[in-house]
Copies of this chain bind each other. A is one copy, B any other.
């Protein structure tokens, strides 16, 4: 490593993120690629600073040995975030630019919606960022746009199919689906043969179907009230949360209540993150379930004839995007599923490619969304289960601020000034809050990895407070706990963390242990996870009971579980900070992403479409039309 890396000159106080990002001239991405032994045939350029690394690279280097695999999770966060992405980037800058290791950072692609809303960008912060940060936050290489396009093509196909079935006889439908050619011959398209196979009809010639078989073939008979597939948009548009469609005069009164989610909540995003190859993606997309027939059978994308088209729309999106950090280390950005209703982790294919590219002794650092209850748990039990990969080290990012909150500090609200408690020394509050950190450590250790706590230090933290966190971490069984200043100092501020991570990786001895096996019942799996939260039991709504039964009958009970739970508490109640125990976890409903490959119980209500505040970020964003440079992005 090292030909492309450089060390930053830092200023104090730390300038605005965009100013730091703009102060560094990025290298041409082909230089970053070359440093990873990737030549022009291994990637497609998207401008000068982004390249899609082709999945076919794995065919060439797939036989090599993997590097170390490090996952970055966190404690239960405040709404301000605890700098998990920043720590991920800072650690990699340390490993690459200071410790001379081969390293690749694997990050999620952020949703564009929040960039213009409250949150701003997601490229890290301070002197630990991915650049160019405007390209990272906007469009990137079009993957989320491809997801939006394919998700919505499927949505249009659903309503249109119901519409056409409602007005046509079986024979008219059959005539349109399998029209005779000039010679009067009919044929099934490949995707129709998939449906026939599912129906148990083993005929290749449409003319041989009995009239009963014709009916079975042409009528999906979708129950409109069962449709779970929603449209998506990568915009914070709260007025689309609940809508009525089909009110035009030509749609003949076939109105239906539905809604839009933000694009990253699409099951297709979850598929992208969990797939392992083009052929696997084709299969996952084809078996996505959009609802049931009136008889209760699941209706898939392939029943609608659309699995192939969805794959075509997603064929470039399967290739991860190569970018770089401020200190010239490589980054793979790929997929960004919702961390609540989906698994919140970046893609398997990016991690796989990265592990081969860094090779033995190198490091792949990948981020898992939110606290370890949400992100790391799903990383282990869903992502690693599908990938077969095993991490050696898990990092837990903690801040004095969040620990004070867990210790009983006043509420932290985004957009409001921090209470005095958070900017002046209060060791007792920090110590009291460490129960939260301790539970994240023990839960994470249970997977058989070494846990390193990264304390992301703020300028207002005191040495005594930081040491209290270190001490509590070690007491809770951490392999090490390190104070980091990568926000203010770049990689230099995370060198100690890098050294600790290296040791943790080198000394791991255990095998990966999942929290639950797949072959137990849905409820048993849910209860195993609930227990890890500290719950004394689980309570199911009638609707949840019904869905568990349905999925059991439909043959889906062997899937892993993806809990849709608030990230602000181990429990279902965001107000319960620290390490609550003895609570009963309520399951309001149970849903499934069959294509992606998981069942997701809803613990409370998750918003899947954010809104815009009165003064969205976009008020500050503009283009300097003389230089073409983006200004005001934060």
30 contacting pairs across A/B (C-beta < 8 A): A44-B46, A45-B46, A46-B47, A47-B316, A139-B149, A148-B148, A160-B612, A164-B613, A176-B613, A176-B615, A190-B622, A238-B250, A239-B245, A239-B251, A239-B254, A239-B256, A241-B247, A242-B247, A242-B249, A247-B257, A277-B625, A279-B625, A281-B625, A305-B615, A305-B619, A308-B621, A308-B622, A309-B622, A311-B623, A315-B630
Closest partner residue, chain B, to A246 (CB atom): B239
Contact B248 A241 (CB under 8 A): yes
In the bound complex, residues from chain B placing their C-beta under 8 Å from that of A112 are 149
Contact for A164 among B134, B231, B614, CB less than 8 A: B614
In the bound complex, residues from chain B placing their C-beta under 8 Å from that of A316 are 47, 139
Contact B278 A315 (CB under 8 A): no
Closest partner residue, chain B, to A249 (CB atom): B242
A552 beta carbon closer than 8 Å to chain B:
no
A48 beta carbon closer than 8 Å to chain B:
yes
Contact B282 A623 (CB under 8 A): yes
Given contacts A313-B138, A623-B278, contact A149 B235 (CB under 8 A): yes
Closest partner residue, chain B, to A182 (CB atom): B417
Contact A139 B146 (CB under 8 A): yes
A237 beta carbon closer than 8 Å to chain B:
yes
In the bound complex, residues from chain B placing their C-beta under 8 Å from that of A611 are 160, 250
Contact for A134 among B163, B177, B307, B312, CB less than 8 A: B312
In the bound complex, residues from chain B placing their C-beta under 8 Å from that of A192 are 619
In the bound complex, residues from chain B placing their C-beta under 8 Å from that of A628 are 56, 278, 315
- Closest beta carbon of chain B to A52's beta carbon, Å: 8
Q: Which of A151-159, A292-300, A321-329, A395-403 faces chain B?
A: A151-159
In the bound complex, residues from chain B placing their C-beta under 8 Å from that of A305 are 615-616, 618-619
In the bound complex, residues from chain B placing their C-beta under 8 Å from that of A168 are 614
A242-294 interface (Cβ within 8 A of B): 242-251, 254, 256-257, 259, 277-279, 281-282
Given contacts A160-B611, A277-B625, contact A309 B248 (CB under 8 A): no
Alpha-carbon separation in the docked complex, A626 to B251 (Å): 41
Given contacts A142-B142, A309-B116, contact A248 B259 (CB under 8 A): yes
A56, A148, A282 — most chain B CB neighbours (10 Å): A148
Alpha-carbon separation in the docked complex, A205 to B627 (Å): 28
Contact B278 A614 (CB under 8 A): no
Other than A159-B239, A160-B237, A160-B238, give 20 A-B pairs with Cβ distance below 8 A.
Answer: A44-B48, A46-B47, A112-B149, A134-B312, A142-B145, A156-B237, A157-B616, A160-B239, A160-B611, A173-B614, A176-B615, A177-B615, A182-B417, A191-B619, A231-B233, A231-B240, A238-B248, A241-B247, A247-B257, A305-B618
A236 beta carbon closer than 8 Å to chain B:
yes
- Closest beta carbon of chain B to A168's beta carbon, Å: 7
Contact A618 B309 (CB under 8 A): yes
In the bound complex, residues from chain B placing their C-beta under 8 Å from that of A139 are 142, 145-146, 149, 313, 316
Contact for A614 among B145, B177, B246, CB less than 8 A: B177
In the bound complex, residues from chain B placing their C-beta under 8 Å from that of A259 are 248
Contact for A159 among B231, B237, B277, CB less than 8 A: B237
A168, A173, A316 — most chain B CB neighbours (10 Å): A316
A620 beta carbon closer than 8 Å to chain B:
yes
Contact B250 A241 (CB under 8 A): yes
Closest partner residue, chain B, to A624 (CB atom): B278
Contact for A282 among B45, B233, B625, CB less than 8 A: B625
Contact B245 A247 (CB under 8 A): no
A156, A168, A231, A246 — most chain B CB neighbours (10 Å): A156
Alpha-carbon separation in the docked complex, A248 to B605 (Å): 13
Closest partner residue, chain B, to A417 (CB atom): B182
In the bound complex, residues from chain B placing their C-beta under 8 Å from that of A250 are 238, 241, 611
A231, A240, A630 — most chain B CB neighbours (10 Å): A240
Contact for A623 among B179, B308, B626, CB less than 8 A: B308
- Closest beta carbon of chain B to A160's beta carbon, Å: 4
Contact A156 B239 (CB under 8 A): yes
Contact B245 A618 (CB under 8 A): no
Closest partner residue, chain B, to A45 (CB atom): B45
In the bound complex, residues from chain B placing their C-beta under 8 Å from that of A308 are 618, 621-623, 632
Alpha-carbon separation in the docked complex, A612 to B315 (Å): 23
Alpha-carbon separation in the docked complex, A66 to B37 (Å): 44
Given contacts A45-B47, A173-B614, A613-B176, contact A156 B242 (CB under 8 A): no
Contact B240 A245 (CB under 8 A): yes
A468 beta carbon closer than 8 Å to chain B:
no
Contact for A315 among B254, B257, B618, B623, CB less than 8 A: B623
Alpha-carbon separation in the docked complex, A240 to B192 (Å): 27
Contact A620 B241 (CB under 8 A): no
Alpha-carbon separation in the docked complex, A179 to B159 (Å): 45
